[in-house]
Amino acid sequence: MSQKSAPPPIVFILIFLALIGGGYWFFVISPGNVTPSVNTPSAGNSTFSPPSSVASGTTVRIDGSTSMVTINQNLKRAFERQFPGTNVVTSANGSQNGIADLIAGRADIAAVSRSLTAQEQSQGLMAVSVTKDAIALVVGKANPFNQGLTSAQVADIFQGKINNWSAVGGNSGTIRVINRPAISGTHQAFQEIVLKGANFGTTSNIATLPRDATTPLLQALGTDGIGYATFAQVANQQTVRFVPIDGLTPDASSYPYQRQLFYVYKNPASPGVQAFLGYATSPQGQQAMILEN
């Protein structure tokens, strides 16, 4: 009885090389989060490919979170330089107002410092994660309190349960809490992350700003106030000091008050929106986001 001849050795060599090549390809592509060439929305999130060209005359209007002012400006400059003839118009009226403008057609992209709600997703809104940010607790530079706080103490302060600096190891004196308005995405993220969904306090020592702006908040701190802001906006401020939380400062990787920042658009995205979001989430855009000044 005749025996079947085995495949020549070259076959096994080719199979081995194909497996190695496939494994190498997967290793290179996966960590880099390389996006596909088409939009693939899923559960309120989507990805776009980096643009190779953008038509001159393209205008993209962005409104929303004050936490993303620096990011918006950095990407605007880099995008307009990369694609001459384009125009990125930025405003910062708060996350909630940005979403309202997007729905009404007054903006093309909403810069948002919180996740989309189910109701917002049901209106055709899609979110693209841009970067991670930390919410910093700040006091004025002249404030005599120079210690840290625990997460529990922070929650108690902003709920009105602790209202004297002596209760957290400082000198006796009222803690003036400077809160951001409810339209602020940072306000909403703080309530979710720090207060675990509970309401802010309504005691007399807690004051809410009439508009969502960081500069007035910092100016209002004085020598006895405490407030919160996105780390990117206050990292280089000379008039305030960060309060460590559970022994960690906002630049620590395990800092407890971290959140995602998003660009939100209405599906289907226009070519200009696709181009801007593709650039913003590309390695080049991510570099421009932090290096442009």
Q: What is the pLDDT of residue 96?
A: 92
Q: What is the pLDDT of residue 291?
A: 62
CA 219 to chain CA centroid, nearest Å: 24
Q: What is the pLDDT of residue 40?
A: 30
Q: What is the pLDDT of residue 233?
A: 83
Q: How many helices (H) and strands (E) does the chain have?
A: 10, 9
Mention every residue, 6+ apart, whose C-beta is less than 8 A from residue 79. Answer: 86, 88, 276, 279, 280, 285, 288
CA distance linking residue 277 with residue 251, whole number of Å: 26
For the chain, 293 residues long, the average pLDDT of each consecutive 10-residue run is 48 42 30 29 62 97 92 96 98 93 98 92 95 95 97 98 98 98 91 96 97 92 96 89 97 94 96 97 91 50
Q: For residue 255, give the nearest of 149, 184, 160, 122 by alpha carbon.
A: 149
Q: What is the pLDDT of residue 183?
A: 87
Q: What is the pLDDT of residue 3?
A: 45
pTM attached to this predicted model: 0.70
Q: What is the pLDDT of residue 253?
A: 92
Q: Which domains does the chain have, with CATH numbers?
A: 59-132+260-291 (3.40.190.10), 133-258 (3.40.190.10)
Q: What is the pLDDT of residue 242?
A: 95
Q: What is the pLDDT of residue 118?
A: 94
